[in-house]
Amino acid sequence: MIISSQIASMRERASGKYDLILAAVSFFPTLNVSYHFGRMVDDIADGDAPLPGCFSGFEEFVDNLKNRALQPENSDKVKCAAEFLLLRSVDRLNRISKNQQEVLEGVNWFLNSMLEENRRRVDRKVLTKRQLEKVHYNSFGSSLEISLIAIGSNNRAKDIPEAPLILGKDYSIEEKELKPDLKRGICNIPSEVLSTANLTLEHLMKNPDLVSHPKIQEWIINEEIEVGEILDKVKGRKLDTRSDLLVNRFMLLGVRKRHFEKKHLSGRRINV
C-alpha cells in the first residue's frame, strides 16, 4: 500500500526533465519501469519528493540502491518504492541486454549522477559552464544509456554524445524549470554569468525573477544558439532504427520545434 501510494504521488507531480522520456513510454513499453525508477530517484535528489524515512540521508539511500542492483533476484524485504522499481527495472534490463555488467554500470552511472545533483542542491553549488556541461552529460547521458538498453537498441550514449548536452542545456534555460530550481538552490546558470551580472545564488533564491537580468537573458540566447549548432551535429549520427526513433522522434523533437520557433536564433552570438 505504501509503495503504491508513493508511485501514485510521483505520477501527480510534473515530470520535468523526464517529459521527453515519458513521451516515448507509450511507444516503447519496456521503458515504463525504468522511467518510473529514474523519475522517483530524481525527484528525491532534487527535493521534489521526500527521502524515504528508513534512510538518514540521500547518500545512504543511493548506496542501498547500488547494493540491491547487485542482487536484483532477491526481492525480499523491500524498503521503499524506489527499491521496488529498481529491482523490477534491473530484472527487465538484464533480460533485454543479456549483459548484466553493462546494466549494472548504467544503473551506477545514473545513481552517481543523482548523488552529484543532490549534493549541489544541498550545498548550493554554483558551477562553471564546463562543470555544468559535465553534470548535464552525466545526468541525461546515464538516463539515455538506460533507455537505449531498455528499448533493445544496439547504440549507447557514447554513440550520441551530443544528445545529453542538448537536453541539459535545453532544460536549464526553460523558464518553467529555471525559476523553481533556483528556489530550491539548484543553479544551472554558470558562475561566469552570475559574476558578470553581479548576482549570487542567494539573490536568485530569494527572487527568481532576477533571471530577467540582461546578462542572464544574453546567456540564455547564447545557449539557444549553441543548442541549434549541436542539433546539426546529431543529424549526421548513424543510429539504428530504435535509437533514431527514441532520440529524434521523442527526445529531441520538442527541442527542435522550440529552437526553430525562436526567430532570434538566426542572430549572432552575444558576448557576456
Q: What is the pLDDT of residue 11?
A: 54
pTM for this structure?
0.89
Domain boundaries, the chain: 2-266
- pLDDT, residue 180, reads 92
Q: What is the pLDDT of residues 134-193, one digit of tens each?
A: 999 999 999 999 999 999 999 999 999 999 999 999 999 988 889 999 999 999 999 999
> pLDDT by residue (tens digit) across 188-227?
999 999 999 999 999 999 999 999 999 999 999 999 999 9
Q: State the chain's maximal CA–CA distance in angstroms.
A: 59
Going by C-alpha positions, the residue among 115, 161, 102 that lies closest to residue 137 is: 161
Which CATH code is given to the segment(s) 2-266?
A: 1.10.600
More confident residue, 107 or 12: 107
